[in-house]
Structure 1
């Protein structure tokens, strides 16, 4: 186990995140605390941070150090970004942090900030090619990557706090002239980045402003499941949020669901940046990553002691494995159930009964691995707990629609419950639900064939004669439990087959 404390000293907020890493459960947040600081507003016309800003910073750092020590964490890493990076008295600020708090604060360069955000995104989102944007209070980091390797990166010297200060100071948050000037400035700055134009790839947005935009849109459409990580918006969606912010009077901003009070006066500039970037890139979608600078730095630190801890090419697989470990699923049982459902599927595919896309086959197999993980909470309501846990868990490397599909298959009990769960989102038509039911039935039957968790199934083969089907199962050990449960559950397979199924157990 390794525990670390990261303090992200941003231009708008200062945030403390305590991380814990184990080989079994991966990296976890054990505490996340933020406080607004608006350090960028304390930088005077000559580029120096005023004493009022330095004092506010020291007070917050002192508090965060005490919290870290209460968790018995001594590895504390304060990271300073744009506000301190751009201050002419930055070296004096770092010396005071060391002298008064005995903390070694490091200034993160714009290029490093972009690289750390990229690392966090590609380790938690499956896209191989994308543009990333991390807009903070005093700077904006952009990268373009292909095959999960950075090709270009840049740090621009404006953020939401500086845009607000440049164009909106003393004006309403939706002042028309301020909006016009902000649009012109942002468009000019982005057009100077010649490698951005017409990339026609997704945009991955990182940081608090991005998350807030996502939450506003989710509230706007009454989004049925939790979490913004992996949430996707299209161009029209970004425009809808922008229009809502623009047409809402300043005194009514608190009425917008999902909008953080700390960001009410700076959210419109960030919306303008995102809309403009979408057009410049010619993007096909706008996706949000909850992981950014802090997670990227944490992975960098942890990788020194655990060099193979993170694999950006196994995002979904590693996330499922950690989910299974979090709920103490038996690894042997999960592996055998996955093996059996894979064999059952191949028999049905061979007979021309069922054919899946590569994605749906992957989802089915992983659903088998985490089948009925809700047993961890309550065996009598395992299906219900399984569906809601998976559909609302932060699973990396998978879109929200597929996450719900995974939940429906892994929680499958019967068609009635399946229809009940599916109504929550309304995302699947009758044809899709029929396929989900078939996959859930396969997983449920595979579970019956290893109900004793003794791995007795050695091989299986299906044959057809007229309207009747026969499943020959070779076994090692005592199949009494599997025989009983296979007969009980065969009705689910018969619905897929459209005929009677006869099951024969033979000692291998």
Structure 2
């Protein structure tokens, strides 16, 4: 187990994130604190950081160093981006920090800053082709990737703080002329890169500005589940947020749910950048990735030490493995559940008793693996705990709809509870709902076949003769509890077959 502290010294905020990594539970965030330092405002006209800015930086790093020490981090990585990178006196700043705090500060080059954002996206989402954008306080990084491989990367010398300073100094945040001039400038900047034009891929936003846009939209629509990672928005959704911000007074902005108070005066430039780029690339959708520069930096660091970690072609499987370990799911029992579930489902499909898509089959296996994960908290309330944990957890590689379906499958107890949970989102209807019920029932039944966690059942074989169905269960050992539970839960299979089912336990 390792604890890594990362201090992200941005142009707008300075943030300390403490990560804990373990090969069994993956990378987890223990602490995330920030201060809106706005270092870019301390750059003079000749791009020298003044003494006031250096003092703000020193004071913040000193405080964060003490916090990191209390959390017993194994290593601390203070990394600086645009504000320090653009400073003519950056070397003097690094030397000053080293002398007074004994802290080695690293400046991340523009191309590396863009790369780490791309790395985080392609290792935590299922997006194959896209353009990423990370708007900081003093710079904006964009990348183009295809099949999760980096094709192009560029850093623009503007961010939300510098745009505000350039166009809104002494003006209201929604001044029409300032907005018009700013958006003309942004469009001209993007026109410099021919590879941005008409890509027709996902636009993936990372960083605090994108997070606030996603949260505002979720709040406006009373979004039913937690988390913004992998949250998707259309062009109309972005325009809606843009309109809300434009028509709101400064005081009204402070009351908008989802908008951080320290971003009230810089959120409009951010949304303008997103809208302009969305139109420029003819994007299919806007997706927010909660994992960005910081996560990408730490993930790359860890992957160099543990080459088997963070495989971009194995995101979902790794995420489920880590989640299962975090909640004490016994891997052997989970694999047994998946094996029996796969076998029984394929036989039901052969009998044309059920018709499910490949995507549903994949979620079915994943739900079987995580079944009743919530028993870690309280075995008597396993189902509701399982649903709420999975539905509201940030699980890499899953869309929000997939996450809810996974939660419904892994928590399945009966139809009435399924309806209750499903009603929270109202995303499932008709056949989609019926299939979740049938698949959840299969999982519950095969869970009964290993209720003692001894893996005594070797295989199952479904037969039909003259309209009568029989399920032969071949076992080794003594499946006393399994025999009893199988009889109790066979009703779930009978619903699928629309017929009675006889169960015969046979020694292998």
Shorter-chain TM range is over 0.9
CA contact 1:10–1:81 (8 Å) conserved in 2: yes
| Cα displacement string for residues 147-199 of structure 1 (whole angstroms, at most 9, x for unaligned residues) | 11101110111111111111111111111011111111111111211111111
How many Å separate the matches in 1 of 2:80 and 2:364? 44
How many Å separate the matches in 1 of 2:354 and 2:433? 14
Aligned to 2:63, the other structure's residue is in SS state: helix
CA contact 2:2–2:74 (8 Å) conserved in 1: no
Report the counterpart of residue 382 of structure 1 in structure 2: 382
| Cα displacement string for residues 322-354 of structure 1 (whole angstroms, at most 9, x for unaligned residues) | 110000111111000011100011101111122
Report the counterpart of residue 73 of structure 2 in structure 1: 73
1:300 deviates by 2.1
Alignment of 1:100-499 (within 5 A): 100-499=100-499
How many Å separate the matches in 1 of 2:251 and 2:377? 45
CA contact 1:368–1:443 (8 Å) conserved in 2: yes
CA contact 1:459–1:473 (8 Å) conserved in 2: yes
How many Å separate the matches in 2 of 1:2 and 1:383? 33
CA contact 1:145–1:152 (8 Å) conserved in 2: yes
1:74 deviates by 4.7
Aligned to 2:153, the other structure's residue is in SS state: strand
Report the counterpart of residue 22 of structure 2 in structure 1: 22
How many Å separate the matches in 1 of 2:299 and 2:363? 27
How many Å separate the matches in 2 of 1:249 and 1:284? 31
How many Å separate the matches in 2 of 1:256 and 1:43? 31
Q: TM-score, normalised by structure 2?
A: 0.99
How many Å separate the matches in 2 of 1:385 and 1:181? 51
CA contact 1:68–1:74 (8 Å) conserved in 2: no
Report the counterpart of residue 47 of structure 1 in structure 2: 47
| Cα displacement string for residues 115-138 of structure 1 (whole angstroms, at most 9, x for unaligned residues) | 011111111001111111111000
Aligned residues: 508
After TM superposition, the structure 1 stretch with the greater mean CA deviation from structure 2, 105-114 or 476-485, is 476-485
Aligned to 1:121, the other structure's residue is in SS state: helix
1:355 deviates by 2.7
Aligned to 1:123, the other structure's residue is in SS state: helix
1:483 deviates by 1.0
How many Å separate the matches in 2 of 1:273 and 1:20? 34
CA contact 1:202–1:283 (8 Å) conserved in 2: yes
Question: Which stretches in structure 1 are left out of the alignment for 5+ residues?
Answer: none
| Cα displacement string for residues 83-142 of structure 1 (whole angstroms, at most 9, x for unaligned residues) | 010111111111101111111101101100000111111110011111111110000111
CA contact 1:2–1:302 (8 Å) conserved in 2: no
